[in-house]
Amino acid sequence: MDDIKNLKERILESIVDLLGEYTFANGLKEKAIAVDIGGKYPPKNTKISGLECVIVPQSELSASWMLGSGVSLEVSHRIELKQWDEKPNRQLMIAVQRLVITFGSDLNVGPRLAPIDKLGNIESCSMIFTNYENRRLIRNG
Amino acid sequence: MPSPFASLENATLTFSLSSQSMEIDEWGNRLPVQEDLVVRCWLAVDSNGSFVGDYAMPGVDESEQTLKGYCIDPMFLPDLITHGSEAIAIIGSTKGRFILYRGLDGIATPVTGSSLKGVFRRQV
């Protein structure tokens, strides 16, 4: 859990000025960055504006067989960027560039989805974050 | 003045409302503390909007029923409870969830209090 908090802080440091806001039902506001499993956050009746960043912890799991005996198990986290502003802007592209610079090869950037009005799609991009601390070598025998 | 519907009371709705204080969840997200608001009320089946029986069509969830009624205590719903708010409902001895519709129907008068309309989904 500490590595997720650490990841959130590093993301905040690099894109804090680009992030939008959550406005909760009680009127209080918060930077639009969240750690979420299963769509529980933000709570109901929260309005989201601007660029949102959602970290989905341990969303990906992959195993690869090593030479000899053993398996390398890799747990990765997904970082999703969503642009809720309807006016076209470059915030999401800039955020992706900054995150790539911050995390280097630990970050695997997925395709960017362009906004499509007719389908109600918003601009979004999802990335997979993996680092060495998330790799476990399991030996059999 | 007490509600004229007090003798008909048959249901309780428990809404959760965002309070002004914030808490931090296990992942470090800040979110408003939720407080319960219990509304005692009278609810009856709305014959105009019910899907039950002969009117059931493919794709329609028959465990849902449209209900109408009035708030008894408190007599007036606070504005914080908006259209689409969900409440845990106990109607008679049946438990379920109540999803509130708050359109023009929801206009309150000083004598009757706030009217209620919404969909009740039985807990199965």
Average pLDDT over all residues of chain B: 84
What length does chain A have? 141
> Does A138 have pLDDT greater than 90?
no
Phi, psi of A137 (to 5 degrees): -100, 120
Chain segment A71-88, per-residue pLDDT in tens: 888 889 999 999 999 888
Cβ–Cβ gap B29/A26 under 8 Å? no
Partners of residue B25 in chain A, C-beta under 8 Å: 41
Alpha carbons within 13 angstroms on the beta-carbon side of residue A106 total 18
Partners of residue B34 in chain A, C-beta under 8 Å: 43
Q: Which residue in A122, A120, A119, A123 sits closest to A93, CA to CA?
A: A123
Q: Is B79 on the interface with A (CB under 8 A)?
A: no
Q: Which residue in B22, B29, B32 sits closest to A55, CA to CA?
A: B29
How does DSSP assign chain B, residue by residue? Answer: ---TTGGG--EEEEEEEEEEEEEE-TTS-EEEEEEEEEEEEEEEE-TTS---GGG--TT--TTEEEEEEEEEESSS--TTS-TT-EEEEEETTEEEEEEE--SGGG--BTTTB-EEEEEEEE--
Mean pLDDT, to the nearest integer, of B45-58?
63
Query: Is there a contact between B97 and B75 (Cβ–Cβ < 8 Å)?
Result: no
Of the listed ranges A18-22, A38-42, B60-64, the least confidently predicted one is: B60-64
Cβ–Cβ gap B28/A8 under 8 Å? yes
Q: Is A34 on the interface with B (CB under 8 A)?
A: yes
> Model confidence at B14, in pLDDT bands (50, 70, 90)?
very high
Cβ–Cβ gap A36/B29 under 8 Å? yes
Q: How far apart are CA B40 and CA B45, in angstroms?
A: 17
Chain segment B57-104, per-residue pLDDT in tens: 677 677 788 888 999 989 988 888 888 889 999 998 899 999 998 876
Partners of residue A28 in chain B, C-beta under 8 Å: 20, 22, 32
Q: Is B32 on the interface with A (CB under 8 A)?
A: yes
**Interface with chain A: mutation pick from B23, B31, B81, highest number of A CBs within 10 Å:** B31
> What's the complex ipTM?
0.72
Q: Which residue of A has its CA nearest to B82?
A: A45
Phi, psi of A3 (to 5 degrees): -70, -30
What length does chain B have? 124
Q: Is A63 on the interface with B (CB under 8 A)?
A: no
> Does A140 have pLDDT greater than 80?
no
Other residues' Cβ atoms within 10 Å of the Cβ of residue B117: 17
Cβ–Cβ gap A57/B27 under 8 Å? yes
Handedness of CA B79, A21, B24, A61 (dihedral sign): positive
> Model confidence at A16, in pLDDT bands (50, 70, 90)?
very high
Q: Which residue of B has its CA nearest to A54?
A: B29
Angle between helix A2-15 and A91-103 (nearest 10): 130
Place of tokens 């906004």: A115
Q: How far apart are CA A18 and CA A31, in angstroms?
A: 10
Looking at the DSSP assignment, which residues form a beta bridge with residue A55? A35, A79
- Report yes or no on whether pTM surpasses 0.90: no
